[in-house]
Amino acid sequence: MTDVRAPEAGPSPAAGQDDRQAAPAGTGRPAGRAYGIADWLKWGWRQLTSMRIALVLLFLLALGTVPGSMLPQEGADPAGVQQYYTSHPALAPLLNHLGLFNVFAAPWFAAIYLLLFASLVGCVVPRTFRLAGSARTLPPRAPRHLTRLPHSAEYGTALPPDQAVEVAAAVLSGHGFRLRRCDAPADGWVSAEKGYLREVGNLLFHLALLGVLVSVALGGLFGYKTDRLLVQGDTFADTASALDEIHLGRLATDADLAPFTITLNHFSASYITSGSQRGQPLSYDAQISYTAHPGGPARTDNLEVNHPLSVDAAKVYLIGHGYAPVFRVTDARGQVVYDAPTPFIAASSGSSGNLLSEGVVKVPDAQPDQLGFSGVFVPTAIDVGGTLESAFPAADYPAVSLIAYAGNLGMDSGPPQSVYALDTAGMRRLTADPQSLLPGQSLKLPGGQGTITFTGYVPWVSLAITHDPGQVPALACGIAALGGLLLSFMVRRRRVFVRARPGGPGSTVQVGGLARTDASGGFEAEFASLAAELRSAHDRAVHAQHEEE
């Protein structure tokens, strides 16, 4: 990478020197004059577009992403940020002030990003002009003494010098060299140059790097990521009020959400049943039906891990699953006030908890008192010293354990609540110990407050819906950058000269070769084979002449 920009490091050293020489001559001012603002700006621009600063910026950009992966981020893990605040009350506000909980939106990150962008543009644009210029410039004239070049060969041929040069030119041209012929045939030389692709590759690399930056910016500005928990049998339309979490890019709005509708028809999971891996998931399969837009045809699909659904530029990923026990609650007046599957969330991530899940049931319209339950669902229940534990993640022997509350849920005014948390500040506990229920069993609440029945369970899945318009361009640019890098490493800029002077029966042919950049070596072999080919071409030409005679 260091090598790529080094040969002609932007406008900085070369152009700088030119300017310094030009200024006194052009303006007539003394060389030792004080620097004005314009000079400082020019100096700053040169520094910015220098290879060294670009590398420093690239390094800083990489360094800047480190806190993004070490600390919880607002966008991806708001709960983690809250947790960090409670566990590090002194440090967290400071980190927040530095934008470390939202690194990719922090001003300092944007500054690095934009400076790197400017640096790359400042480097690429002048280079492009220079490449265009060099592509139009002819190779230099052949030096007088080719044997002094790093690679050279000399041999005699029966052809006269002008014919020998003609034959050599044909061979070199056949190898894709650009030629420069001598002005008068009597001079007897031809210059050839090849390897412009090196600079093309170099430029491609820089442009592609710019493209990657632009693509990432596109994704950040116009992309979005949303989440939705979907219970089996339920349908949701992809609109803001139907989503659980929405993270929009800077320039994205709710209106950019793709207007599809998804129904979870069936979800199944299979697990390893024996051995040390027991309980590890084998496969998930979410059978869905969907319409891409309102009124569109209904289609079906199977969502699996790493097999997202592509719909209308958005991708729908299956990112989690769990159980939603179904509860029916009757209040003190005998009215059914709740009858719904209630998603419970796995208490520990991974498979260690065997999907022991926690959740709450809120019944704000129970009369006369509001009712609330906090509970645990276990798919395969075992009793470990009086507490309910899960032995296996599949629902082989499901059970719930509930603690009941009555009073004020705090839902009739105040801030919005999480559906997974119960605010028990205004409630009194109705049951001293958690009460376990099997499917079909009911718990009668003390004091005639009502009844809760655990009627069954259904699975749920959590879906992540993402749209990243920069993803494909970023990939394409990444591939182009790699291609450009390979080109610039593998292609050598090299020149070959051929001179023919009268000598012996015809002429003496001198071949000289020069590789301008030969970091990886290999020109020696190419030159040797080229020289041999020139020689045999000359021999063939002599034979052909003899046969004609």
Partner 1 sequence: MFRTKRRTVALVAAVSTGALLLVVLLAGWATSGSRSVADIDGNPNAVLYAVGHRPTAPGFTATTLTGSRLSLSSYRGRVVVLNFWGSWCVPCREEAPALAVAAQQYQPAGVAFVGVDVRDTTASAEAFVRSFGITYPSVTDASSQITLDFTAVVPIAGTPTTLVIDRTGHIAGAVFGTVTYEELTTILNRVDGKAAAG
Footprint on this chain of partner 1 (rule: CB under 8 A): 11, 15, 18-19, 22, 45, 49, 114, 117-118, 121-122, 125-126, 129-130, 217, 221, 234-242, 250-251, 253-255, 259, 261, 263, 294, 328, 331, 335-340, 362-367, 411-417, 419
Tokens of 172: 């070199």
In the 8-state DSSP scheme, what is residue 338?
A: E
Nearer to partner 1, 3 or 365 (CB): 365
Tokens of 192: 């050839």
State how beta strands 245-248 and 235-237 pair. unpaired
Distance, in Å, from the CA atom of 537 to the CA atom of 549, rounded to the nearest integer, reads 19
Residues 217/128, Cβ–Cβ less than 8 Å: no
Distance, in Å, from the CA atom of 293 to the CA atom of 236, rounded to the nearest integer, reads 12
448, with CB counted inside 10 A (0-12, 13-18, 19+), is exposed
| Strands annotated E in 163-244 | 178-181, 189-194, 224-231, 235-237
Nearer to partner 1, 189 or 373 (CB): 373
Q: How far is the CB of 458 from partner 1 (least distance, A)?
A: 13
Nearer to partner 1, 259 or 473 (CB): 259
Q: How far is the CB of 71 from partner 1 (least distance, A)?
A: 25
Q: How far is the CB of 182 from partner 1 (least distance, A)?
A: 26
How long, in residues, is the chain? 549
Nearest alpha carbon to residue 509 among 156, 163, 179, 169: 156
Q: How far is the CB of 526 from partner 1 (least distance, A)?
A: 32
Q: How far is the CB of 290 from partner 1 (least distance, A)?
A: 12
Number of other residues whose CB lies within 10 A of the CB of residue 321: 22
Nearer to partner 1, 263 or 466 (CB): 263
Q: How far is the CB of 403 from partner 1 (least distance, A)?
A: 20
Nearer to partner 1, 234 or 518 (CB): 234
Q: How far is the CB of 157 from partner 1 (least distance, A)?
A: 41
Nearer to partner 1, 378 or 474 (CB): 474
Q: How far is the CB of 246 from partner 1 (least distance, A)?
A: 9
Q: How far is the CB of 184 from partner 1 (least distance, A)?
A: 28
Nearer to partner 1, 365 or 383 (CB): 365
In the 8-state DSSP scheme, what is residue 241?
A: G
Nearer to partner 1, 39 or 339 (CB): 339
Nearer to partner 1, 178 or 328 (CB): 328
DSSP output for 371-434? EEEEEEEESBEEEETTEEEES-SS-SB-EEEEEEEEEE-S-SSSS---TT----TEEEES-SS-
Q: Compute φ and ψ for 211, nearest 5 degrees.
A: -60, -40
Distance, in Å, from the CA atom of 122 to the CA atom of 120, rounded to the nearest integer, reads 5
Nearer to partner 1, 243 or 381 (CB): 243
Nearer to partner 1, 431 or 455 (CB): 455
Tokens of 304: 């699996």
Whether the upstream peptide bond of residue 126 has omega within 30° of 0, thus cis, is: no
**Number of H-type helices and E-type strands within the chain:** 11, 24
Q: How far is the CB of 129 from partner 1 (least distance, A)?
A: 5
Q: How far is the CB of 26 from partner 1 (least distance, A)?
A: 9
Nearer to partner 1, 264 or 355 (CB): 264
Give the ranges where 7-146 is alpha helix by DSSP (H). Answer: 12-27, 37-48, 51-70, 78-87, 91-97, 107-136
Q: How far is the CB of 133 from partner 1 (least distance, A)?
A: 9
Distance, in Å, from the CA atom of 92 to the CA atom of 87, rounded to the nearest integer, reads 9
Rounded to the nearest angstrom, the gap between the alpha carbon of residue 142 and the centroid of all alpha carbons in its chain is 49
The residues facing 236 across adjacent strands are 262
Tokens of 506: 């015809």
- What does each C-alpha distance from 145 to 28, 152, 156, 193, 497 come to in angstroms? 42, 10, 16, 18, 10
Nearer to partner 1, 143 or 233 (CB): 233
Q: How far is the CB of 329 from partner 1 (least distance, A)?
A: 8
